Amino acid sequence: MNSTSKSKHLWNLFWKLANPKVFMGWSGRWLPWLSWLTVLLLGSGLIWGFFFTPDDIRQGSTVKIIYLHVPAALMAINGYLLMFIGSLMWLIRRQHVSVLAAKAAAPVGMTMTLIALATGAIWGQPMWGTYWVWDPRLTSFLIMFLFYAGYIALWAAIDDDDTAADLTSVLALVGSVFALLSRYAVLFWNQGLHQGTTVSLTDGTKQENISNVFFLPLLLAMVGFGLLFLTLLLIGTRTELRMRRLKVLEVRERMQ
């Protein structure tokens, strides 16, 4: 299969997954494999990082926090971008699976944001001398956390599912500005304490990556966090789809 037909195949699969039945069948087949792979890679990355990497010359053992902080921050941003895509697809094409995937992504994304903020604060105290500063990247992350919380609260506050999907989708679109800002804030405002990108997979000429001693377990942890996000996303979306079906059956029961 050449690359064009591969991408065409993936694109077709993407649209087919908008059908709840296809999604349930596909995710049900892949979920057990994905779960085991998540445990393997996330466990390996964190154990390698915590137990088998040396201290940094300047940062001492606090460098071990990088195996939590960077992957969590990465998934906090990507989780919000996923919510953006799911919400946009709902608003344009009214596809239930996409908006339910966005709904399922929010609590995981919020947890990732919280981990990034907490580990950043704990790391910041010995390195910067403070837990918190109103630095562009830190502040945009805090605002993104509040958008996650608001998105979840809005879903919970509205009884009608389609109305909730409409309103939360608009909120997700507005909040995506802060998800982008949290990624690029360092470039927009060249101020504050937070450094620029630590790891660059694409721009090897401009960015000097960290040493492989730290980079390889970090890469493993990043993939592990990504797989954990995907696993929980599939579990959550399947639960939301079942919940919708359950609501329909309960309404039918009451009408009989």
Which positions touch another protein (CB under 8 A)?
Answer: 46, 50-51, 55, 60-62, 64-65, 68-69, 72, 107-108, 111, 114-115, 118-119, 122-123, 125-126, 228, 232, 235-236, 238-239, 242-243, 245-246, 249-250, 252-253
Nearer to another protein among residue 69 and residue 181 (C-beta): 69
Nearer to another protein, 137 or 238 (CB): 238
Largest pairwise CA distance in the chain: 72
* Residue 232 in tokens: 């929980």
Distance, first Cα to last Cα, the chain:
53
CB 41, min distance to another protein, A:
14
CA distance 112 to 91: 26
**Least Å distance between CB 162 and another protein?**
20
Residue 111 CB, nearest approach to another protein (Å) = 5
What is the rounded CA–CA span in Å between residue 49 and residue 64?
Answer: 6
Cβ proximity to another protein, 50 vs 184, nearer residue: 50
**Residue 32 Cβ vs another protein, minimum distance, rounded to whole Å:** 13
Q: 101 vs 181, which CB is nearer to another protein? A: 101
- Find the shortest distance in angstroms from Cβ 122 to another protein: 5
Closest distance of CB 110 from another protein, Å: 9
- CA torsion through residues 142, 145, 151, 155, sign: negative
Two tokens, residue 151: 């998105």
Distance of CA 221 to the CA centre of its chain: 14
Judged by CB, which is closer to another protein: 175, or 236? Answer: 236
Q: Are 81 and 102 in contact (CB under 8 A)?
A: no
Nearer to another protein, 62 or 207 (CB): 62
Closest contact distance (angstroms) between CB of 10 and another protein is: 26
Contact in structure between 216 and 76 (CB atoms under 8 Å) = no
Name 89's Cβ contacts closer than 8 Å, sequence gap at least 6: 18, 95, 98, 99
Query: Minimal CA–CA distance to 152: which of 29, 240, 47?
Result: 240
Residue 109 · residue 76 · CB < 8 Å: yes
Identify which of residues 181 and 232 has a Cβ nearer to another protein in the complex. Answer: 232
